[in-house]
């Protein structure tokens, strides 16, 4: 077994015993990236020199006897989280040469914990998309089938973990951007409760649903990383005082799991449905009680999300005006500042960013604000209420993560509405600010299928414990794509 294939927990033991050094582990990951990434294209930037420096520092800390969960563990970071001194592009032409002057809080936290940043991963431009095809630097390929998408928007992070380029990765999830790629790539993907993890240094997309989360190989590893990055941040006043506390127990006795019938619709692939049913059956065997529930407003989550998100996007992306940072149109013939803004933004943004800016500008404009934006906010409140009601009777809700397995590159690229519907089982959870955890649960024709575990606010521990128990009796999460070139 190569060191890059280890879980955090396995590597932790070896590093702490002195049987492996952080340098060796980092070199194994860098070698894997070098071998594979020409084909997978998970990374936009690989910072080998900085990574080896960090590994050297981690080895020194280990030698001095320091023992912390992420010390010496190599990872990848989605390229929408600011990293001081290393380019952060958001996969946009707008920020092709942007170097952040400070670290995002999550980046700062994992660095302090001793994690090693190997590079920055590909995404849909500004996290707008569900396939990573909206990257201005070309798509990432799914390691299970290179002709297919890895999902998105955190496709590079998911593909990086799936192909053992790193031991974990940071991603972001605004309407499904961790959970859907985790499902497509066969890895664990945790979108935490809104407010558990600081958003400071995450480029804002939809400020009211943006979250930073984790891709990892096991539920145990997910917990280690999530615990490191969670907690109050004075630079993000939406963060809660809650810090993740978890405790793995060896039984699911007394746990009530809700199965919402609105998630088992005609659009759901028959084999994916069967996989979710089998997973549910296994959880029942572990002692959980299964209860059928109803979330009638589920189908309105995507339409509400695609008013709220573009509205916030149009406002958040207004900061890219060619002044101060980012792409700047500098033609001699530009007459005035308005034209300068228009040209800079026209050149810098890709098609989906433009589409969302237009949609949001329309939804917020005079005469339409009440009909679209206010209406969507009211529907959002109803969706949230519905989840609160459901959690009075159950501890966890289980659903498919995606209605299908990874689709072909190019298949949906000309149909934005089809791409939006990728979030059909995911955006409701985001609108309600709840935690969602996608874990591998099976395969269809060699392609991974995930199930989504939904919890009530700040109840990540229940999701982690359930996944931990499930992973003790299944090996879906241990299966890796066979890649050799």
Partner 1 sequence: MKLSEEEIKHIADLANLELSTEELKKYGGQLSAILSYIDQLKEVDTSDIDSSEHASGLVNAWREDEVKNWPKDEIKLSLEQASDFEDGQIKVKKVL
Distance from C-alpha of 400 to C-alpha of 403, rounded to nearest angstrom: 7
Token pair recorded at residue 128: 């707008």
Considering the complex, what minimum distance in angstroms separates the CB of residue 324 from partner 1? 5
Burial (CB count <10 Å: 0-12, 13-18, 19+), residue 9: middle
Token pair recorded at residue 310: 């573009």
Distance from C-alpha of 113 to C-alpha of 314, rounded to nearest angstrom: 36
Considering the complex, what minimum distance in angstroms separates the CB of residue 329 from partner 1? 9
Token pair recorded at residue 459: 């109840």
User: Residues in the chain, how many?
Assistant: 485
Residue number with CB closer to partner 1 (376 or 463): 376
Residue number with CB closer to partner 1 (48 or 377): 377
Considering the complex, what minimum distance in angstroms separates the CB of residue 330 from partner 1? 7
Distance from C-alpha of 278 to C-alpha of 374, rounded to nearest angstrom: 41
Contacts of 323 (CB under 8 A, 6+ apart): none
Residue number with CB closer to partner 1 (8 or 82): 82
Token pair recorded at residue 439: 């874990």
Residue number with CB closer to partner 1 (336 or 482): 336
Token pair recorded at residue 171: 């991603």
Residue number with CB closer to partner 1 (282 or 342): 342
Considering the complex, what minimum distance in angstroms separates the CB of residue 234 from partner 1? 7
Considering the complex, what minimum distance in angstroms separates the CB of residue 416 from partner 1? 6
Q: Which residue has the tokens 């999902």?
A: 151
The end-to-end CA distance of the chain, in Å, is 18
Would you please indicate which residues are annotated as catalytic (active-site) residues?
78, 153, 177
Considering the complex, what minimum distance in angstroms separates the CB of residue 475 from partner 1? 38
Residue number with CB closer to partner 1 (132 or 206): 206
Residues that bind partner 1 (CB under 8 A): 84-85, 98-102, 194-195, 208, 234, 237-238, 297, 299-300, 303-304, 306-307, 314, 318, 321-326, 328, 330, 334, 336-343, 345-347, 349, 351, 354-355, 357-359, 361-362, 365, 372, 374-382, 384, 416-417, 420, 431-433
Distance from C-alpha of 206 to C-alpha of 211, rounded to nearest angstrom: 9
Distance of CA 286 to the CA centre of its chain: 28
Rg (the chain; Cα; Å) = 21
């Amino acid at each position: 077994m190569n060191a890059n294939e280890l879980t955090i927990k396995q590597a932790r033991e070896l590093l702490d015993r002195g049987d492996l050094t952080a340098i060796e582990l980092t070199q194994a990951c860098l070698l894997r990236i070098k071998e594979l990434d020409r084909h997978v294209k998970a990374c936009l930037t690989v910072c080998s020199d900085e990574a080896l420096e960090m590994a050297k520092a981690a080895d020194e800390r280990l030698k001095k006897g320091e023992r912390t969960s992420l010390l010496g563990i190599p990872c990848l970071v989605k390229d929408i989280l600011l990293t001081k001194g290393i380019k952060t592009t958001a996969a946009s032409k707008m920020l092709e040469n942007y170097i952040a002057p400070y670290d995002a809080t999550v980046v700062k936290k994992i660095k302090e914990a001793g994690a090693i940043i190997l590079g920055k991963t590909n995404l849909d431009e500004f996290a707008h998309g569900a396939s990573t095809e909206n990257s201005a630097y070309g798509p990432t390929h799914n390691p299970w089938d290179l002709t297919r998408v890895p999902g998105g928007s955190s496709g590079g992070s998911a593909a990086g973990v799936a192909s053992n380029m790193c031991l974990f990765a940071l991603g972001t999830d605004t309407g499904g951007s961790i959970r859907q790629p985790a499902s497509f790539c066969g890895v664990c993907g945790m979108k935490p409760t809104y407010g558990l993890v600081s958003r400071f240094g995450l480029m804002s997309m939809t400020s009211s649903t943006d979250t930073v989360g984790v891709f990892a190989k096991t539920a145990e590893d997910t917990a280690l990383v999530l615990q490191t990055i969670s907690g109050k941040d004075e630079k993000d006043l939406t963060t809660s005082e809650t810090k993740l506390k978890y405790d793995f127990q060896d039984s699911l006795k007394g746990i009530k799991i809700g199965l919402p019938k609105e998630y088992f619709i005609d659009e759901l692939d028959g084999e994916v449905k069967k996989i979710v049913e089998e997973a549910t059956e296994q959880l029942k065997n572990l002692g959980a009680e299964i209860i059928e529930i109803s979330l009638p407003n589920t189908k309105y989550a995507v339409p509400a999300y695609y008013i709220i998100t573009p509205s916030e996007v149009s406002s958040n992306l207004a900061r890219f005006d060619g002044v101060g940072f980012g792409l700047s149109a500098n033609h001699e013939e530009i007459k005035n500042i308005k034209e300068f803004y228009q040209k800079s933004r026209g050149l810098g943004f890709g098609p989906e960013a433009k589409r969302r800016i237009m949609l949001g500008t329309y939804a917020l404009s005079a005469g339409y604000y009440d009909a679209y934006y206010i209406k969507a906010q009211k529907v959002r409140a109803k969706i949230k209420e519905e989840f609160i009601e459901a959690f009075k009777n159950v501890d966890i809700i289980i659903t498919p993560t995606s209605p299908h397995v990874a689709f072909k590159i190019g298949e949906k690229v000309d149909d934005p509405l089809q791409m939006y519907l990728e979030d059909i089982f995911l955006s409701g959870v985001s609108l309600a600010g709840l935690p969602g955890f996608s874990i591998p649960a099976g395969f269809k024709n060699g392609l991974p299928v995930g199930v989504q575990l939904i919890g009530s606010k700040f109840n990540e521990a229940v999701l982690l414990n359930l996944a931990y128990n499930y992973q003790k009796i299944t090996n879906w999460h241990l299966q890796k794509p066979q890649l050799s070139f």
